[in-house]
Structure 1
């Protein structure tokens, strides 16, 4: 039996497992345990490694078994669990995308509001040519992991004659991005508010994404002159972004909720349950 925690941030849900439970089967466990119809269900698993010096390291595996650099929402869920279970109100968590510092702003039982330092984002405008569509204009943004951000004015986030889900699938696996990319579709509501949708690498359409929130805000601030403090709202709800200057770290504030704890079984060949 494998002990797990389930948590979500704006509907972007994760399982939290101790690294010691993985047994080298990270990808297999992600494919099995994240299955919506045959297991617990989640967008990914955060494997929490507790180092001898008391520090923390996270490895994120998406629902399809692929490993990603980090998740902003997933990191926040882990910070919420450490606050809930161990009373840690401030944590430094290392990921493959850099160190993230999380501070609890508010808490009520299993519900938390957490501010996370997300590092200094980078952005570069880019045009991607898709055979059946033509040139697609957007921006490559890195916030510890890769994103491609497009702007749209459509209420349903359609652009270039396609739904955001369909175009997101095209762009995610386009040869321009050999390691694939997350894709965001952004609509400017006002100088202090944006709405967006996410097609997440290794998962597909998701309710929310912490790094996707940051990438969307980066593009809106850098390319559309939005305010450096703004609200970014996805299907799962709003999060707050503060980016004081281009060369300074971005801060992300949003909710996280501990859903449940339990124990799960995993087959010897977990990939067979994908």
Structure 2
């Protein structure tokens, strides 16, 4: 049996598992079984947590399809909230998580029962304008690295269609495009006003999803750098809102959003 904690951040759900309970050679297989929506517990990914101190840990993320992701902003926030819960931390306390994209410092903004607000330092982004040639079209966007890869595309209306095609179709085609040998996350951004944007996400290893922390950061960086967005930006996804602060250049992204526990339990057959 595998013990787990299930949590979500704006509908982006994760299972938190003690890394010591699963043989490293079996972590991929266990993650796929646990994440299966109909035959497992169900989640977008599994965060394997190894405690390294009272307020620090090491995490590795396996997506629902078994692929390894360098980092998830939402997943990291969920783990930080769980650590805060376990150590009875409160507003103003910090935890540090080592990810495959580097260390991330997370500050507990608010703690109330099973609900948390967490502000996470998300590193210094790298980005450039880029065009991707599809079979019958060329899509222009902004390639952004937030420790993992993103391709951000701007759209004009609330349907998020582009050149007469659904965003989910274009997202899938770009995610698996040969230009991205390791695949990429794809975000579609509609600028609402100077202070806010709305996004849709096709997540590498998952598909269309309600939210993404790093996708939120990438979308904000692209908007601030290429659409004159405010340095304090509200980002709305189908699962909820997150706040991004980025002052440009070599400054670090600060992502603030919710994390909520759903359940704890034990899974059989893993």
TM range (shorter): over 0.9
What is the Cα deviation at residue 161 of structure 1? 1.8
Deviations 1:148-169 (A, max 9, x none): 0000012111112211111100
Aligned counterpart for 1:159 among listed residues 155, 159, 162:
162
CA distance in 2, matches of 1:52, 1:264: 27
The whole-number CA distance in structure 2 between the counterparts of 1:251 and 1:54 is 19
Q: Deviations over 1:123-169 (max 9, x none)?
A: 100000011x3111001100010000000012111112211111100
Out of 185, 194, 198, the residue aligned to residue 195 of structure 1 is 198
Residues 33-72 of structure 1: matches in 2 within 5 Å? 33-51=34-52, 55-72=56-73
> Shift in Å at residue 55 of structure 1?
3.6
Q: Deviations over 1:61-89 (max 9, x none)?
A: 00000001010000000001011122243
For the residues of structure 2 that align with 1:56 and 1:162, how far apart are their CA atoms?
43
The answer as to 2:86 corresponding to 1:79 is no
Residue-by-residue CA offset, 1:213-251 (whole Å, 9 max, x unaligned): 000000000000000001000000110000123211010
CA contact (8 A) 2:18 2:48 kept: yes
Retained in 1: the 8 A contact 2:194–2:229?
A: yes
- Structure 2: gaps of 5 or more residues: none
Farther-moved stretch of structure 1 (227-236 vs 45-54): 45-54
Are residues 1:3 and 2:9 paired?
no
Q: Is the 8 A contact 1:71 1:209 kept in 2?
A: yes
* 1:26-48 residue CA offsets vs partner (Å, 9 max, x unmatched): 11111110011111100000000
What does residue 128 of structure 2 align with? 124
TM-score (norm 1): 0.95
Runs of 4+ in structure 1 displaced over 4 angstroms? none
Pick one of 89, 95, 101 that aligns with 1:91.
95
In 2: Cα distance, 1:207 partner to 1:256 partner: 14
The worse-fitting range, judged by mean Cα deviation, of 256-265 and 186-195 is 256-265
Q: How does 1:218-233 map to 2 (within 5 A)?
A: 218-233=221-236
Pair 1:208-2:208 in alignment: no
Instruction: Classify the secondary structure of the residue corresponding to 2:76.
Output: helix
Contact 1:33 1:266 in 2 (8 A): no
How many Å apart are 1:122 and its aligned residue?
1.0
Give me the whole-angstrom Cα distance separating, in 1, the residues matched to 2:185 and 2:53: 34
Residue 96 of structure 1: how far off its partner (Å) = 0.5
TM-score (norm 2): 0.96
What CA distance in whole angstroms lies between the structure 2 residues aligned with 1:130 and 1:229? 34
Alignment gaps of 5+ in structure 1: 268-274
> Taking structure 1 as reference, are residues 41 and 171 closer, same or farther at Cα in structure 2, changes over 3 Å only?
same
Q: Secondary structure at the match of 2:74?
A: helix
- 2:188 maps to which residue? 185
- Aligned: 1:240 with 2:218: no
Q: How many residues align?
A: 266
